[in-house]
C-alpha cells in the first residue's frame, strides 16, 4: 500500500503550530458572582411583588386595596417591556449624548446574547437585575397618589416618568454620565431610586390634590397584618437591592448586607421610640415605616460605610424621616398618601449626604478616593441630590400634564367614595 504523505504533513504542521502559539482562552462568567446576581435579582423583584404591593395595600382603605396591588403588579409588567426595548440601552448603551444619555446600540437588547458578558456575569443577568430597579422605582411613587388617581393616567404618567426621569438619572450615576465622572457615591440608588421617586410622589400629590376629607378625616390602614408582612418582605428583598449592587459575591457584598440590616433595625427602633415618647405607645406602623426609612437611607452608602456608620445612618433616618412626615402632612398639609417623599425622598437625600462622612476610613468606611476631601465629596453628593430632585420635579409635572391631557388624572368625588377597586377594575379586594 503506498505511503501517503499528506495526512502526516498536516499533523506535523498542527503540532508545530500548537507549540509555537499560546492557547487561546475565552472570557467566562464567574459562577459565584452569577449565582449571587441571579439570587439578588429574584430578591429585588420580591421587594416589589409581593413586598411593596402588600406593604402599600395594607395602608390604604378597604375599598382601594386591589387598586394598589394592581398598580404595583402592572407597573412591573409595563416597565419590563420598556426596559428591554429602550430603557437599558439609554442607560448603558454606548454613543448617545455624552454624559447625559446612552446610545441605541442595545435597543431591543439586540447585542445581548447568551455569551455576552458584563464584567464577571452574563449581560443577560445584569439586564434583568437592573430591570428590577427600574420597575420598583415608579412603583414607589404609587404611594404618593394612592386612592385617587385614575388607572390609565397612572400608567401613562409612570411610563413617561420612567423613560424621561429614571433612565437619564440612572445614566448620570451608573451609566458613565456626568455625575459618575464627578465621582458621585451612590452604591444602590439614593438618587436614582429614592430621591427620584420621592420628589415625583410629592409633585403628584400636589398636582392631584388631597383625598376627599384630608386632613380632617382619619384615613387609617385597613390591614396592618398585611402591611407588616409586606414590610418584612421588603427587608429581606433589600439584601438583593444593596448587596447585589456589588455585582459580585465578595467582601463588599457582605459588608453591604451587614450595614443594610443594621440600618433597618436602627431606623425601626428610633421611629418607634420617638412615637412612644410622643404618644405613649409603640406603634407597629411606626416601627415598619422606620425600618423602610433605614433601608432607603443606607442604600447609597451601603457599599462604602462600615457598621458604626450604618448604626448612625439608620438612627438618623428614623428620627429625621419621622419629623419629615409631620412637616409634610401637618405643616404643609400635602396629602402624600403613604409618606413616599418623607421616607424615600428625605431618606435618600440624607443617605447621600451622610455617605460622604461615613465613607471615611477613620469612621470605619472604605475611605475617600485619593486626593478627595470630605468637603469636596459632600459637595458632589449634594449636587447629585439637587440635580436629581430638580429633574424629577420637572419631568413629573410635565408627565402629569401630558397624562391629564389624554385621560382624567383622578377619579370623581363619587367614584372616590365608591373606591378605586370597583371604579377602575370592577372587582373587589374582599368579598364578604
Give the CATH number of the domain where residue 115 resides.
1.10.3430.10
User: What average pLDDT is seen over the chain?
Assistant: 93
Tell me whether residue 35 is in a domain: no
Task: State pLDDT tens for residues 128-163.
Answer: 999 999 999 999 999 999 999 999 999 999 999 999
Residue 256's pLDDT is what? 98
Backbone φ and ψ of 298, nearest 5°:
-80, -15
Tell me whether residue 18 is in a domain: no
Give the ranges where 1-122 is alpha helix by DSSP (H): 5-20, 31-46, 53-59, 65-82, 88-92
Q: How far apart are CA 259 and CA 315, in angstroms?
A: 12
Task: State pLDDT tens for residues 163-192.
Answer: 999 999 999 999 999 999 999 999 999 999
Residue 122 in this model has a pLDDT that exceeds 80 = yes
Residue 13 in this model has a pLDDT that exceeds 50 = no
Task: State pLDDT tens for residues 285-315.
Answer: 999 999 999 999 999 999 999 999 999 999 9
pLDDT band at residue 432 using 50, 70 and 90 as cut-offs: confident
With contact defined as beta carbons under 8 Å apart, do 26 and 38 qualify? no
Tell me whether residue 12 is in a domain: no
Residue 28's pLDDT is what? 84
Q: How far apart are CA 288 and CA 266, in angstroms?
A: 11
Residue 431's pLDDT is what? 85
Tell me whether residue 386 is in a domain: yes
Tell me whether residue 278 is in a domain: yes
Tell me whether residue 427 is in a domain: no
Backbone φ and ψ of 4, nearest 5°:
-100, 120
Total residues found in the chain within this entry: 432
Task: State pLDDT tens for residues 214-236.
Answer: 999 989 999 999 999 999 999 99
User: Cβ of 377: how many Cβ atoms within 10 Å?
Assistant: 21
Q: How far apart are CA 79 and CA 197, in angstroms?
A: 15
pLDDT band at residue 22 using 50, 70 and 90 as cut-offs: very low
How much helix, strand and coil, in percent to the nearest 5, is found in the chain? 70, 0, 25
Task: State pLDDT tens for residues 354-373.
Answer: 999 999 999 999 999 999 99
User: Cβ of 359: how many Cβ atoms within 10 Å?
Assistant: 25
Is cis: bond before 215, omega within 30 of 0?
Answer: yes
Any residues with CB less than 8 A from the CB of 104 and at least 6 apart, and which? 89, 90, 93, 95, 96
Backbone φ and ψ of 101, nearest 5°:
-155, 150
Tell me whether residue 14 is in a domain: no
Is cis: bond before 201, omega within 30 of 0?
Answer: no
List Cα–Cα distances, 296 to 82, 109, 140, 213, 231, in angstroms: 25, 30, 11, 30, 13
**Domain count of the fold of the chain:** 1
Provide the grid cell at 360. Answer: 471615611
CA-wise closest residue to 405 among 212, 143, 152, 202? 152
Tell me whether residue 20 is in a domain: no
DSSP 101: B
pLDDT band at residue 27 using 50, 70 and 90 as cut-offs: low
Q: Is 406 exposed, middle or buried (0-12, 13-18, 19+ CB in 10 A)?
A: exposed
Residue 15 in this model has a pLDDT that exceeds 70 = no
Task: State pLDDT tens for residues 54-91.
Answer: 999 999 999 999 999 999 999 999 999 999 999 999 99
Q: What is the mean pLDDT of residues 102-113?
A: 95
With contact defined as beta carbons under 8 Å apart, do 193 and 48 qualify? no
Residue 302's pLDDT is what? 97
Q: What is the mean pLDDT of residues 93-102?
A: 92
Q: How far apart are CA 15 and CA 18, in angstroms?
A: 5
104-113: burial string, b at 16+ Cβ within 10 Å, e else: eebeebeebe
Backbone φ and ψ of 187, nearest 5°:
-65, -45
Per the structure, the complete domain to which residue 195 belongs is given by 40-413
How many CA atoms does the CB half-sphere of 99 hold within 13 Å?
5
Percent of the chain with pLDDT over 90: 92
CA-wise closest residue to 129 among 234, 246, 260? 246
Amino acid at each position: 500500500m503506498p505511503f501517503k504523505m499528506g495526512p502526516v504533513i498536516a499533523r506535523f504542521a498542527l503540532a508545530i503550530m500548537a507549540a509555537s502559539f499560546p492557547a487561546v482562552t475565552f472570557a467566562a462568567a464567574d459562577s459565584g458572582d452569577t449565582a449571587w446576581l441571579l439570587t439578588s435579582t429574584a430578591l429585588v423583584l420580591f421587594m416589589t411583588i409581593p413586598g411593596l404591593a402588600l406593604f402599600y395595600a395594607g395602608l390604604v382603605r378597604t375599598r382601594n386595596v386591589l387598586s394598589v396591588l394592581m398598580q404595583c403588579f402592572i407597573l412591573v409588567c409595563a416597565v419590563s417591556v420598556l426596559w428591554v426595548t429602550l430603557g437599558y440601552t439609554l442607560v448603558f448603551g454606548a454613543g448617545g449624548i455624552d454624559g447625559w444619555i446612552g446610545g441605541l446600540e442595545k435597543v431591543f437588547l439586540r447585542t445581548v446574547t447568551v455569551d455576552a458578558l458584563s464584567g464577571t456575569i452574563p449581560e443577560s443577568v445584569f439586564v434583568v437585575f437592573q430591570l428590577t430597579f427600574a420597575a420598583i422605582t415608579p412603583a414607589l411613587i404609587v404611594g404618593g397618589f394612592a386612592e385617587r388617581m385614575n388607572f390609565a393616567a397612572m400608567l401613562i404618567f409612570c411610563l413617561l416618568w420612567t423613560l424621561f426621569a429614571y433612565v437619564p438619572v440612572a445614566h448620570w450615576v451608573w451609566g458613565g454620565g456626568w455625575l459618575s465622572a464627578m465621582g458621585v457615591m451612590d452604591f444602590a440608588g439614593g438618587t436614582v431610586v429614592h430621591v427620584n421617586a420621592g420628589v415625583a410622589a410629592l409633585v403628584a400629590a400636589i398636582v392631584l390634590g388631597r383625598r376627599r376629607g384630608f386632613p380632617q378625616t382619619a384615613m387609617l390602614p385597613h390591614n396592618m397584618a398585611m402591611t407588616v408582612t409586606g414590610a418584612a418582605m421588603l427587608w429581606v428583598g433589600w439584601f438583593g437591592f444593596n448587596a447585589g449592587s456589588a455585582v459580585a459575591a465578595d467582601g463588599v457584598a457582605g459588608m453591604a448586607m451587614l450595614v443594610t440590616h443594621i440600618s433597618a433595625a436602627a431606623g425601626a427602633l428610633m421611629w418607634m421610640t420617638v412615637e412612644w415618647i410622643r404618644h405613649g405607645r409603640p406603634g407597629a406602623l411606626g416601627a415598619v415605616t422606620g425600618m423602610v426609612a433605614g433601608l432607603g437611607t443606607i442604600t447609597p452608602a451601603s457599599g462604602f460605610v462600615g457598621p458604626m456608620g450604618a448604626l448612625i445612618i439608620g438612627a438618623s433616618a428614623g428620627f429625621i424621616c419621622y419629623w419629615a412626615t409631620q412637616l409634610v402632612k401637618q405643616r404643609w398639609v400635602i396629602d402624600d398618601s403613604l409618606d413616599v417623599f418623607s421616607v424615600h425622598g428625605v431618606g435618600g437625600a440624607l443617605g447621600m449626604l451622610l455617605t460622604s462622612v461615613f465613607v471615611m476610613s477613620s469612621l470605619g468606611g472604605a475611605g475617600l478616593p485619593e486626593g478627595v476631601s470630605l468637603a469636596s465629596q459632600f459637595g458632589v453628593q449634594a449636587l447629585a441630590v439637587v440635580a436629581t430632585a430638580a429633574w424629577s420635579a420637572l419631568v413629573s409635572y410635565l408627565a402629569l400634564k401630558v397624562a391629564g391631557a389624554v385621560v382624567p388624572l383622578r377619579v370623581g368625588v363619587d367614584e372616590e367614595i365608591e373606591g378605586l377597586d370597583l371604579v377602575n377594575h370592577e372587582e373587589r379586594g374582599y368579598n364578604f
